[in-house]
Amino acid sequence: MQIRDTAVATPDKPAVIMYPSGTVVTFGELEARANQLAHLFRDAGLVEGDAVAILMENNHHMHAVMWAARRAGLYYVPINTHLTAAEAAYIIDNSAAKAIIGSAALTETLAGLAAELPGGLPGLLLIADGDLDGWQRYPECVADQPDTPIADEIEGDLLQYSSGTTGRPKGIKRDLPHVPPSEWPGLMAALVGFWMHPDTVYLSPAPLYHTAPSVWSMQTQAGGITTVVLEKFDAEGALDAIQKHRVTHGQFVPVMFTRMLKLPESVRNSYDVSSLERVMHAAAPCPVEIKKQMIDWWGPIVDEYYASSEAIGSTLIVAEDWLNHPGSVGKPMAGAIHILDEDGNELPPGEAGEIFFEGGMDFEYLNDPGKTASSRDERGWKTVGDIGYVDEEGYLYLTDRRHHMIISGGVNIYPQEAENLLVTHPKVMDAAVFGIPDDEMGQRVKGVVQTVDPADATEAFGEELQAWLRDRLAHYKCPRSISFEAELPRTDTGKLYKQGLIEKYS
C-alpha cells in the first residue's frame, strides 16, 4: 500500500501533524507535493540511482521530499542537522548528491557548503521557506509542476549515514530493487502491519534524519496512518502530544524514557496517556529498571526491537515476553543469529561474543570496501560490532558495542552495565562509562554523570555514587572516579559520543 491509495480514498485525512505548531499535511496534499517535486527532479536530469541530500529539521516539508525521491528512484540522504557545514559537505560529496534540499532553519549551514565541497555545489539547490543566493525557494519552485505521478516511477531507497560516534560517518547503501513503488512493500511493512491498525495515530518523537524515524513514519503513512511528528523532543511535550492527539502507538529511544521518568511525578500524572495501545523502543539498550518503570506507568505495552541501519537482521520482543525475559531484545524477526568469538567460532548459549546475522539484506559501506569486508565473515554472516549472547530459549541479550569495551589488567569490561545502573539512581539524569589510559592497568574505568539537579554535581556525591555502585556491581566494573558534565554528548537516538569524553578525561 502507498500513500496514493489513502490520498484517493480519504484525501483530507491527516498524514502529518506537527507538534507543537499544529501544522497539518493531508494525504491528498502529501501525494500532490511528492508528485510535483518528483517532476522537478526529472526536469533537473535526476535519474534512478542518483542521490538527493536533505538538510532539514523536523518540518512539514520533509516527508514530501522523501516520498518524491523514493518514487523517482533516488537515494535520499537525510543529514544530521547538528553537523557543521564541513561535516555536512563531507556526506554530500561522499554520496555524490545531485541535489540538496534544505530549509530556512539551516540557512547558515547551507550557505557554508560551497566553500567546503571540493567539486562545488550540485546543480539543483532548493531551500524551503527561505531565501539564499543561488538556491530556488521551495515549494514555490514546484508550483507549476503537475501534481500527477511521473511517467517512470521506480522505487528509491534511504541512503543513511552512520552517526559517526567512532569516526567519520559511513554511508549504508543497498542495491535498488528496480521495481515500481507499488511492487515494493518497504523495509518495515510486515512489522507495521502486525503492530498497528488503520485507526492508529502514530507518534514520531525523534529527528527524521535518523533511520528509524524516517523509515517508520513513511511506512505508517504507506499504511494510511496519521503520524504526529514532534518538531523537537521534549519530555513533557511528548506527553502533551499523546494526550492532545490521542496517540495510540509510538516509537521511542531509552533516553526519552529516562527523561520522562525524571519529570516530577505530579507533572507525569497530569497527562492522560490512556489512548496508548503499544509503544516500541530501539536504537540503544534500555536499562532493565527503566523499562520496568515504564511498564509500571504505561502498562505492559512497551515492546522492543533490535536492528541496525544496515538492515542485516532484527529481533523483536513484546512487553509480555520481556517481563519473563527481562533485559532481552527478543528473538529473530529476520535472519538467524550467531554469537562468535574472536576466532569466528560459534559460542554456546550464555557466552557473550560478537553478534552476526545470517540472511538479512545485503549492503555496502559507500566508498569503503575495507569496512564493508570487515562487516562479514567467510560464510557471508554480517555484523555491526555489537556484543551479546543468547539464552537457552534463543532470546538475545545485548552486552555492549565492541569498540566500547574496556581492557583493564587484561580483563574485558563492558561499560553498559555500569551505565545502566547509574541512570536508575534518582539523582542521575544520564551517565557515561569508558576507559582512559592507566600506566599500570592499561586502562581504568572512568564515569561521567549528568545530574537531575545541577547542585548535586559535587565531589561528595561522586563518592556517594561510587559506593552505591560497589554495593550493586563487581568492583572491577565500577568507575575509579566520577566527574560531572552539564549535559552528555548524545545523538538524538540516544547513542553516546564517547570519544570527546575520552579525550577530555585522558
Q: Which residue has the cell 537482521?
A: 313
Whether 119 shows a pLDDT value over 70: the answer reads yes
* Residue 211 Cα distances to 56, 257, 262, 355, 381, angstroms: 14, 19, 27, 20, 22
CATH dotted code for 3-179: 3.40.50.12780
The whole-number pLDDT of residue 355 equals: 96
Whether 410 shows a pLDDT value over 70: the answer reads no
3-class state of residue 383 by DSSP:
coil
Same fold for the domain at 3-179 and the one at 405-505? no
Q: Is 460 exposed, middle or buried (0-12, 13-18, 19+ CB in 10 A)?
A: exposed
pLDDT tens for 203-224 read 999 999 999 999 999 999 999 9
Q: What is the mean pLDDT of the segment spanning 236-258?
A: 95
The whole-number pLDDT of residue 473 equals: 86
The whole-number pLDDT of residue 165 equals: 52
CB 231 within 8 A of CB 213: no
pLDDT tens for 225-242 read 999 999 999 999 999 999
Q: What is the mean pLDDT of the segment spanning 105-113?
A: 97
* Residue 280 Cα distances to 137, 234, 250, 498, angstroms: 37, 18, 6, 26
Q: Identify the CA nearest to 294 among candidates 318, 241, 327, 258.
A: 258
3-state secondary structure 264-290: CHHHHCCCCCCCCCEEEECCCCCCHHH
Q: What percent of the chain has pLDDT over 90?
A: 78
- Report helix angle 62-71 to 27-43, nearest 10: 60
3-class state of residue 389 by DSSP:
strand
**Which residues fall within 8 angstroms of residue 138, CB to CB, at 6 or more apart?**
37, 61, 101, 126, 127, 128, 129
Q: Is 101 exposed, middle or buried (0-12, 13-18, 19+ CB in 10 A)?
A: buried
CB 205 within 8 A of CB 238: yes
Distance between CA atoms of 272 and 243, rounded to whole angstroms?
Answer: 5
Among the residue ranges 12-16, 54-58, 403-407, 451-455, the one predicted with the least confidence is 403-407
Whether 400 shows a pLDDT value over 80: the answer reads no
**Which residues fall within 8 angstroms of residue 308, CB to CB, at 6 or more apart?**
384, 386
Q: Provide the pLDDT confidence category of residue 367 given band limits of 50, 70 and 90.
A: very high
Please report, for the chain, the start and end positions of each structural domain, with discontinuous segments joined by +: 3-179, 405-505
Q: What is the mean pLDDT of the segment spanning 285-298?
A: 92
What letter represents residue 3's amino acid? I
Pick the CATH number of 405-505 from 1.20.1560.10, 3.30.365.10, 3.90.230.10, 3.30.300.30: 3.30.300.30
Radius of gyration of the chain (CA): 23
pLDDT tens for 456-470 read 999 999 999 999 999
C-alpha cell at 316: 523483536
The CB density around residue 143, as the number of other CB atoms within 10 Å, is: 8
CB 241 within 8 A of CB 228: yes
pLDDT tens for 129-153 read 999 999 999 999 999 999 999 999 9
